[in-house]
């Protein structure tokens, strides 16, 4: 799964957008108005042990000229926990 993290001009929070690996990072980013790109990459997860679900972010977006950051997974988890 791919992701980008954006910050909207009127808000101070960073928001993750998760999408399929067949979609280019730049296509998703261009669809978002009024946002600042924070980071982009790939979300990987290992759910072989249901009690110990692990997620991590890696990689980069060559099209957007940015990469994943160490705190990205925390932003994504925080958002997923709200659902």
- The band of 51, judged by pLDDT with boundaries at 50, 70 and 90, is low
**pLDDT given for residue 69 in this prediction:** 95
Q: Is the pLDDT of residue 83 over 90?
A: no
Taking the C-alpha atoms of residue 43 and residue 31, their distance in angstroms, rounded to an integer, is 20
Report which of residues 9 and 15 the model is more confident about.
15
Q: Which residues make beta-bridge pairs with 19?
A: 2
Which pTM does this prediction carry? 0.86
Q: Is the pLDDT of residue 50 over 70?
A: no
- How many angstroms from the chain centroid is the CA of residue 15? 8
Specify the number of domains making up the chain: 1
What are phi and psi for residue 78, nearest 5 degrees? -60, -45
- The band of 57, judged by pLDDT with boundaries at 50, 70 and 90, is very high
Taking the C-alpha atoms of residue 59 and residue 2, their distance in angstroms, rounded to an integer, is 10
- Tell me if residue 54 falls in helix, strand or coil: strand
Total length of the chain: 83
**pLDDT given for residue 17 in this prediction:** 95
């Amino acid at each position: 799964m791919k992701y980008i993290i954006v910050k909207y001009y009127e808000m101070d929070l960073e928001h993750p957008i998760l999408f399929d690996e067949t979609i280019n990072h730049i296509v998703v980013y261009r669809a978002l108005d009024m946002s600042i790109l924070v980071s982009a990459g790939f979300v990987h997860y290992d759910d072989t042990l249901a009690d110990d679900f692990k997620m991590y972010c890696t990689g980069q977006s060559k099209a957007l000229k940015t990469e994943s950051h160490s705190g990205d997974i925390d932003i994504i988890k925080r958002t997923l926990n709200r659902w």
